[in-house]
Every structure is written in C-alpha cells, then in structure tokens.
Amino acid sequence: MNIEQRTQEIGRSIHTAVAGEVPSLFDRKRWMGRLMEWAMEDPGFKTRLFRFIDVLPSLNTDELVVRLLREYFGGDPRIPLLIRRGLERIAGGRVMPAVAALAVRKGVETLARQFIAGRGPEKALNALRSLENEGAQASVDLLGEAVLSDSEAQDYAARYVHLLSLLGNGRRDRAEVSLKVSSFYSQIDPVDWEGSIRATMEGLRPVFETAQRTGTAITLDMEHYHIKDLTLAIFRSLCREFPDVSCGVALQAYLKDARRDLDELLRFTKAGDRRIAVRLVKGAYWDYENVTGRQKGWPIPVFLNKDETDRNFEDLTRVLLGNTHLVHSAIATHNIRSLSHAISVSEHLGISPDAFEFQMLYGMAEPIRGVLLKKGFRMRVYTPVGELIPCMAYLVRRLLENTSGESFLRRSFFERSPVEVLLRPPVPVEPRKNGSILSETFVNEPPLDFSIAENRQRMEEALLRVKDNRDRRCPLIIDGREVSTEREIVSVNPARPEEVIGRVSSASGKEASEALAGARKAWALWSKVPAGERAGHLFRAAERLRQRRFELAAIEVLEVGKTWQDADADVTEAIDYLEYYGREMIRLGKGLRLGDIPGEENEYVYRPRGVGVVISPWNFPLAIPAGMVSAAVVAGNCVVFKPSGVSPVTGSFLCRAFKEAGLPPGVLQFLPGPGGEAGEYLVAHPDVDFIAFTGSRDVGLRIVRLAAETHEGQRNVKKVVAEMGGKNAIIVDETADLDEAVKGVLESALGFQGQKCSACSRVIVVGSVAGTFVRRLREAMASVRIGPTEEPGNSMGPVVDRDALLRIRGYITLGELEGRLIYRRDAGDKGFFVGPVIIGDVAVDSRVAQEEIFGPVLAVIEARDMDEAIRAANSTSYELTGGIYSRSPDSILKARMSFRAGNLYINRKITGAMVGRQPFGGAGMSGIGSKAGGPDYLLQFMNPRCVSENTLRRGFVPEQQEQ
C-alpha cells in the first residue's frame, strides 16, 4: 500500500472514530455553538461579535459595557434576546447595567476559558493535570500585552522564569514552554540585526538559564514574517549558548520560504552535532502577512491558496520525519488529512510513534486528540495561560480560525463535509508570479525590506561612500548651466555638526533673476510639449531615483538625521509623486468634452500657468520638493526650485535626476539661497505666475501677503499653494486598544524626532484610561534608543540644527511652567540631540498646546468624554492631521463627523500618508491648497479653459464623434 492509500485508510478510521462527536465550540445546543453558527452564517455579525469580544475585557465600567453592547448590537434581534434571557434569569426581569455587564462578561470569559487554561501558571495547573491524566503533555505559552518597553520585557522574562520554576519542579515529565522572541526586546527590528540579536539574547538569558537548571524544553514561536529570519538567527545563537537546553523552533508551512529554512536548520544541526526540535504549523498570521505584504508592495510571503499550504505541510512532514536522528518533530495540526499523512509517512519510514509528536491547541479538536492518544501517539497540547485582556488577541485569532470557511474543524464538525472531500489530497496550484506589474494604474514604490541582509549591507556601503565624499560641491543650475557662487551653504551632519556633508552654491538676487529669465524662455517651448511626453520625463526621473535609492537615503540620514527607514520612505515617496503625477497628467491631458447637446462642441482643457517658484522645507528633503516640482513641471510650467538651506545637498540630487531624465534646459532651475533673500526675491518678482510653498505657517502667511501685491507689468495674479504647519492631536478613549495606542502615539510623536508636519504633539486621553496609558507611554519612551541614525539601532536621531535645538528647549522650559513635566530624557550635549519629553496637566489654551513645536515634545490633555476631547482637538487654528484610538463605533463616527483635520486616522499612527492612497494636506492655518498625492493636486498648476464652437451651419449638424 502506498503512502496515499494508507493516508486515506488512517484518515477514514479517525473520521469514523470521531463521528457523532462535536467539539464544544460547534455544539449548537450550547449558546457558544449558536453564536459561532451565527458568526459563520453572517460575516457582518461575525465582525461585530469578534470586535466586541476583543474590546470587552478592557471596559472598566458596567455602563461602558452596556453602551458598547448597544453600539455593536443595537437593533440586532439575536443578541439582545440571548442577553435578555440571561438577564431575566439573573435579575428577575429588571435589567441593570451591572447585571447585564456581568452576564456578558461571564459569557466572554467562558468563551476565553475554552482556549485559555487559566489566568496565571498556578491557575492553569489543574488544566495541565487533566491533560496529563489524558496522557498528553503541554507546551505552556504565557500570553501578555505587547511588549513596548524594556521594563515590560523584563516583567515578561520574570514571568517565564517563574513559570519554568513551577513546571520544572520535578513534577512534570518533559515539560515545555513556548515563547515569542519579540516579548524579550521591545525595540526588536531586523534593520538593527546584530543589536537585536544581542539585546533579545540578553532578555532571554535568565529564562534559558532557568530552563537549563530545571530541565525544561523551550520552543520559539514564529511570529510575523518580518522577524522570521531574525528569530531563526536568535534560535541558532541560543542553541550555541545553551547546548544543554532542549530547544525548538516553529516552522510555518504557509511560508514559501519554509522548505529553505528547514534545509538550513538541518544543516545547522548536522554541523553543530546538536539535536533540535521543530514544530511544524500551518501559520496563524495569514491575513496579516497578506495585508502588510500588499500595503508595502512586497512579495507576499505566504501561499495564497490553502491547498498549497497543505501540500507544503505534507512535504515538510516527509522531510522532518526522514530526519528524526537530527530533529525531534512536532506535527501541529487538527486536520485529519494532514495528520493521517504524517502517520502514514512514519509507518512507511518505519519510525516508531515515539520518535515524533503531534501537537494541538488547547480547547480545539478534542475528539481527534482523544483518538490519537488512544492509538498510542505522543500528543502535546499548546496551552496558553494569561489574564483576560492580553488573551483577547489570541482568542479572536482562534475564533477566526475556527469559523473561517477553510477551517478543517468547521468543515468536518459543523458542515459535516463528506469524508472523501475532507481527506482529498491537496491539489497543487500553478505558482503565481509575484513580479512587479508595470501598470497604467499607479502603485506605490515598495520600501526597502531591511530584514534582507543585502539591503542592510548596501545601506552601510552607501553611508560610507557619502561620508567619504566630503568635498562634494553642488552648483546652482540656471538655464541648464551649472553656476558656482562664492557664497556657499555648508551642509553638516546634525549628529556631528563638525562633519560636512557638502558645500552648495547660494544664489543672490542676480542669479534669481537669471533663473526666472531662463524659465520664461524655456516655457515658450515646454508649454507646447504634449502631456504624455512631459509625463515621460517624470517616469524617467523616477527611474533615476530608484537606481540611486541607497545613496539618496544615506544622504538624508547624514544631512538631516533620518533613520534608515524614514530616509528610504522619503525616497519612495518622491518616486511615488513622479509616477502618480505623471499618470494624472496623462489623464487630465486628454481634456473633456462637455454636454451632449447637438449643434455645439464644448472642449474643456487645461493650460499651464507659466513660470513658478517652488520653495520647500528640509523635513522631507526629497519627497516634498519632488512632489511640488514634478506637479508644476508635468503640468507644463517652468520652475525655479529653492530647496531649504538645511537640506540643499538632497535637493540637488532631485535636479540631477531630472537632468539625467533629459528634461530640457531651463524647465527646472536649482536655486538654493537664504529664504529671506532669494526666497522673498522670487516670491515678489512680477514675472512669477505661481508659488508652491511647503513650510512653516509664518513663512507661508508672509508669502501669501507678498504674493498678493501686484507690480507694474505683472500679467497674472499669483496663485499660491501653501502647505503649512500643524498641531496635531490623537484622542485615546477608554475603549482603545492600549497596545496599539501607545505604539501609535509613540511613533507619531517621536518619528523623525517629532519633526514631521503630521507629527502628534498633543495626546488627548479620555476618562480613566489616562493613568495606564501615560505610564506605558513613558516606559516605552524610556526604551527608545537615541543617537546618530547612521547606526540602525537608534530610532531617534538629532534634531536638524542648533536653532531647532534651542527652540525646542525653550518650549520644554515653557511646558514646565504651563504644565507638569512627566518625562524628560537627557540626550547628551554632542550634536543637536533632544530627548523625548511628556508634559502633563496641560490646559487646552496654553502655548505648548497651541503652538507648533516641531520636536519630540508631547502634551497630554485629559478630557471627561469624547465631546470634550474633540473640542480640545479642534481648539487650535491648525487643521492638518488627527487621530483617534477607539473601539467604540459611536466615538469613531463622532470623530469622522466633527474632528477637524485634513487627514484623520482611525486606529493607526497619524504619520506616513501614502501618495494616491492618503492624499495629504490641511485646511485652516495648515494650508491653502488641494491635497498632495491626490486627484485634485495638478489642477492648481493649470488654468482650465473652455472652447465652445457652434457646429450648426446652414441647418447641418455633423455627427457627434465618440470621444
């Protein structure tokens, strides 16, 4: 009998043995089973149910529970009935919030207890004992909150040490724990490969030392793909350092890489003469991998078709069972087909049932577990232990898994699919191509994946090259000519101000006037170049930026102090603008025919405005000017571009890319110079038709004023597009997921040292959540690594120059007067470093809550309820970005309706808008203009024109032509 025939035979025998049994979750006679049934029948209900279950444990008043119950299920005939019945029984007909809340909490707790063995290790002992009595063993996993700080990581390690001491107390045979490496180092990130390995090892050391002492085994769970290779590297280091600890790692069959990783692990065991354990799972983060892969434009690491995963699982099973001398394998699945296949392979290879084990999840597939135990197989049950709130993510994952259409358990126990369908061998599908699609529709440029070693290495090399080239000189470009001036801007590294990045020529009025004349001359021709051809220049310039992306990112790291990821994000955003506006111009260039009345023809087209000035800031030194310049140029205008004096070297590379893309001389002039001098001269010049500015409010308003003045001979009223500052707030309410909120506020407030116009500088905390939120935020801030960003372990670098440093320090002093200093961190006195600061008890109208600081200073404002929070958020004259962390549908709706922000973000950080997906820009004092990276942006650089012709001549009307 071959492997497949035997698989079918075993499968059928297991299937027969479990026939008639129903795992409790699918038992329609119980309320849990009924809920699951509704969830499976109605996806909308499922979403609401799972979201409600997720938020429930963090609601700390009964009123809140009842309010959310109403918000999620108000009007749903199913849930109120169920709860009403329960309530009637408890409260004799009187529905009180406390009683209703208790009933609901009890229900969800029962549901959680289905999958989670107890609140703490001690509480789980009973469950472990009963597993033992069944003949099974356990692998205990401590569930916890996301680890966001060093202190949380230390707490986690202490909990594991305690667990291991308890398990290893001589009572349990071959006890095992499972853990996630990301819980042991809060700043873990593959970009800092060596540093992450070192710090995670440090966090894990006490745990492994205890395991060694107590003879307990440890398996590293596998988490998101992004840290998969790092996890494997940490695993190898642990194996080397702790040869006596029985150490294992999980392998996810849904990953296309899994086979390669397994081969690598086998080589590692052979070379090190050390047995390891491997737990083969299918993988629990499929949605996450699929979504983040698509969002980032990275190749999707998981198989898209479930059969491919199942087949890979079988392939990997064969490899694992063929290597039992090197690897102790755990086949972790509830799928009868997959486990029958494993048994069949083991028989075929003549392996004793002792040489490997099966694993299943606590609370799932109990009937199948029973059959395997009866057949004499070794069984380990993955047993999570923990408090209710941190367990919710796990619980919802399990519920999703069980109710998903592809769930084997659902198909076998709920839908009762025929046995031949359940046991059918997985059908391999043609591998999908994941290559880039050269499409007419715009797609964002994928960021660099720094978990890939080659990318890290190329970035290191680029940094070295940029640093070596200290004598870099960047001339002006006027009418295609390079012009060097005596006066120079010396651009320095803000982390080490003595380090020069480049010397850039600096224009005076004379050069500015020549540049304008050059632009005017070029415009005569450029304005007549067809839209598609103009767009071609943008696409070619984008290609140049792509080719130079490492060098450009390295320059930004050194010139303005961005982290590797932020610098790379600025380069990809620049590429995005070029690609997006190019396509937009092709669309708009087609013009429109308006109306379909016979006898007239109305043509609606766009014409360029003329000669414009682009003035940009330093904080997105490539992307922002790339956006403004490319929009103006592709619309048929000629441009004089004045970069910020703080980031002129990066700016010069943009002009270089356009030049290399073949942009005709004169279409784009590069004119760095002092803002108050060259900038003002250009703005006030009568031969300028429009100004595109991004920068601070004061300068923006001054430009608006200057531009409004008309001069002798001026042909146009100057159009001003001005994107200005912000004083952005995030609201965190009592229903928020604090793991997410702390992380999101931290990233939004400290990303690029708070120097993003979209940065969060006010956090408005609603009700009782303030204490916990601020404590966790403070600890998380204390764990952020500060230092020169050329070292990838530092996620906070310097602020951009001495002026910025002094201004921010001034605001910190003011904050201490206006509020209460909650947290401040010293960042040394070398370079322009400022540590993060939190100021509490801030009044809504105080200066630190009203003025843009543009640094890592966060004001905390407390509000009683959502209405007060939104009033506080809306209390400044700015209107740029805003955010809310909440799981209350009503609060989210309220924010959608009345939170004043050009870009409002719900349950995510408020920085990092993507071109084409989150067009960016504000209203109020944050700007006049249509959103950058959006469908209205180019219109600002053109004049619409309508030509109407009477086509009726002597009673004859030509036939209308299709457009």
**In the complex, minimum distance from the CB of residue 694 to ligand NAD, in angstroms, rounded to a whole number:** 5
**In the complex, minimum distance from the CB of residue 681 to ligand NAD, in angstroms, rounded to a whole number:** 9
Phi and psi at 140, nearest 5°, equal -90, 135
CB 160 within 8 A of CB 212: no
Residue 751 within binding range of ligand NAD, rule CB under 6 A: no
For ligand NAD, the closer of residues 744 and 919 by Cβ is 919
Task: Choose, by CB under 6 A, the member of 615, 667, 808, 870 that binds ligand NAD.
Answer: 615
d(CA 174, CA 192): 35
Q: How many residues bind ligand NAD (CB under 6 A)?
A: 33
Question: Tokens 């080589």 sit at which residue?
Answer: 267
d(CA 365, CA 383): 13
For ligand NAD, the closer of residues 61 and 918 by Cβ is 918
Q: What is the DSSP string of 439-465?
A: -SS--PPPPP-TTSHHHHHHHHHHHHH
**In the complex, minimum distance from the CB of residue 345 to ligand NAD, in angstroms, rounded to a whole number:** 59
The first and second tokens of residue 161, run together, are 């040490």
For ligand NAD, the closer of residues 152 and 570 by Cβ is 570
**In the complex, minimum distance from the CB of residue 763 to ligand NAD, in angstroms, rounded to a whole number:** 18
b/e burial code for range 69-102 (CB count within 10 A of at least 16 → b): bebbbeeeeebbebbeebbeebeeeeeeeebbbb
Residue 808 within binding range of ligand NAD, rule CB under 6 A: no
**In the complex, minimum distance from the CB of residue 651 to ligand NAD, in angstroms, rounded to a whole number:** 9
Residue 436: HSE in the Cβ half-sphere, 13 Å Cα cutoff = 11
Give the total residue count for the chain.
963
Active-site hit among 176, 445, 723, 734: 723
Contact mark string toward ligand NAD, 351..390, x via CB under 6 A = ----------------------------------------
d(CA 71, CA 52): 10
User: Helix, strand, or coil here: 673?
Assistant: coil
For ligand NAD, the closer of residues 13 and 710 by Cβ is 710
Residue 559 within binding range of ligand NAD, rule CB under 6 A: no
Task: Choose, by CB under 6 A, the member of 150, 723, 733, 879 that binds ligand NAD.
Answer: 723
The first and second tokens of residue 870, run together, are 């939104």
Which conformational region is residue 170 in: left (phi greater than 0), alpha (psi within -120 to 50 degrees), or beta?
left
Which residues within the stretch 907-946 sit at the binding site for ligand NAD (CB under 6 A)? 921-922, 926-927
**In the complex, minimum distance from the CB of residue 660 to ligand NAD, in angstroms, rounded to a whole number:** 24
Task: Choose, by CB under 6 A, the member of 507, 545, 724, 861 that binds ligand NAD.
Answer: 724
Task: Choose, by CB under 6 A, the member of 683, 742, 884, 925 that binds ligand NAD.
Answer: 683
d(CA 16, CA 412): 12
DSSP designation for 937:
G
Task: Choose, by CB under 6 A, the member of 512, 703, 760, 827 that binds ligand NAD.
Answer: 703
Point out which span in 123-131, 533-541, 613-621, 775-783 binds ligand NAD (CB under 6 A). 613-621
For ligand NAD, the closer of residues 420 and 803 by Cβ is 803
Q: Where are the alpha helices (DSSP H) in 642-760?
A: 648-660, 680-684, 697-708, 738-750
User: Helix, strand, or coil here: 859?
Assistant: strand
Point out which span in 496-504, 616-624, 769-777, 821-829 binds ligand NAD (CB under 6 A). 616-624
Task: Choose, by CB under 6 A, the member of 371, 721, 757, 870 that binds ligand NAD.
Answer: 757
Task: Choose, by CB under 6 A, the member of 74, 598, 676, 958 that binds ligand NAD.
Answer: 676
**In the complex, minimum distance from the CB of residue 623 to ligand NAD, in angstroms, rounded to a whole number:** 9
Task: Name the residue type at position 375.
Answer: K
Contact mark string toward ligand NAD, 858..897, x via CB under 6 A = ----------------------x-----------------
Residue 819 within binding range of ligand NAD, rule CB under 6 A: no
Residue 694 within binding range of ligand NAD, rule CB under 6 A: yes
Q: What is the DSSP string of 213-250?
A: HHT-EEEEPP--GGGHHHHHHHHHHHHHH-TTS-EEEE
- Per 3-state DSSP, the chain is made up of helix, strand and coil in percentages (nearest 5) of 50, 15, 35
Residue 617 within binding range of ligand NAD, rule CB under 6 A: yes
**In the complex, minimum distance from the CB of residue 761 to ligand NAD, in angstroms, rounded to a whole number:** 10
Question: Tokens 């789980």 sit at which residue?
Answer: 124
Point out which span in 221-229, 264-272, 428-436, 610-618 binds ligand NAD (CB under 6 A). 610-618
The first and second tokens of residue 607, run together, are 């014409």
d(CA 740, CA 934): 28
Residue 726 within binding range of ligand NAD, rule CB under 6 A: yes
**In the complex, minimum distance from the CB of residue 618 to ligand NAD, in angstroms, rounded to a whole number:** 5
Task: Choose, by CB under 6 A, the member of 279, 562, 642, 685 that binds ligand NAD.
Answer: 642
**In the complex, minimum distance from the CB of residue 63 to ligand NAD, in angstroms, rounded to a whole number:** 40
Residue 186 within binding range of ligand NAD, rule CB under 6 A: no
Pick the closest to residue 840 from 823, 819, 824 (CA basis). Answer: 819
d(CA 545, CA 538): 11
757 is catalytic: yes
CB 568 within 8 A of CB 453: no
Task: Choose, by CB under 6 A, the member of 725, 754, 882, 919 that binds ligand NAD.
Answer: 725
**In the complex, minimum distance from the CB of residue 926 to ligand NAD, in angstroms, rounded to a whole number:** 6
Active-site hit among 757, 818, 852, 879: 757
For ligand NAD, the closer of residues 283 and 627 by Cβ is 627
Residue 699 within binding range of ligand NAD, rule CB under 6 A: yes
The first and second tokens of residue 93, run together, are 């007909």
CB 495 within 8 A of CB 798: yes
Task: Choose, by CB under 6 A, the member of 645, 744, 840, 916 that binds ligand NAD.
Answer: 645
Sign of CA dihedral 642, 643, 649, 655: negative
430 is catalytic: no
Task: Choose, by CB under 6 A, the member of 619, 728, 748, 783 that binds ligand NAD.
Answer: 619
**In the complex, minimum distance from the CB of residue 855 to ligand NAD, in angstroms, rounded to a whole number:** 11
- Residue 435, classified by CB atoms within 10 Å of its CB into exposed (0-12), middle (13-18) or buried (19+), is exposed
Residue 618 within binding range of ligand NAD, rule CB under 6 A: yes
Residue 788 within binding range of ligand NAD, rule CB under 6 A: no
H or E stretch including 541?
A: helix 531-547
Task: Choose, by CB under 6 A, the member of 644, 728, 783, 795 that binds ligand NAD.
Answer: 644
**In the complex, minimum distance from the CB of residue 803 to ligand NAD, in angstroms, rounded to a whole number:** 9
Phi and psi at 380, nearest 5°, equal -120, 140
Which conformational region is residue 854 in: left (phi greater than 0), alpha (psi within -120 to 50 degrees), or beta?
left
For ligand NAD, the closer of residues 293 and 921 by Cβ is 921
d(CA 97, CA 581): 55
For ligand NAD, the closer of residues 218 and 707 by Cβ is 707
Give me the residues paired with residue 906 across strands.
Answer: 884
CB 788 within 8 A of CB 950: no
d(CA 113, CA 101): 18
Catalytic residues: 723, 757
Binding site for ligand NAD (CB under 6 A): 615-620, 624, 642, 644-645, 675-676, 679-680, 683, 694-696, 699, 702-703, 723-726, 757, 852, 854, 880, 921-922, 926-927
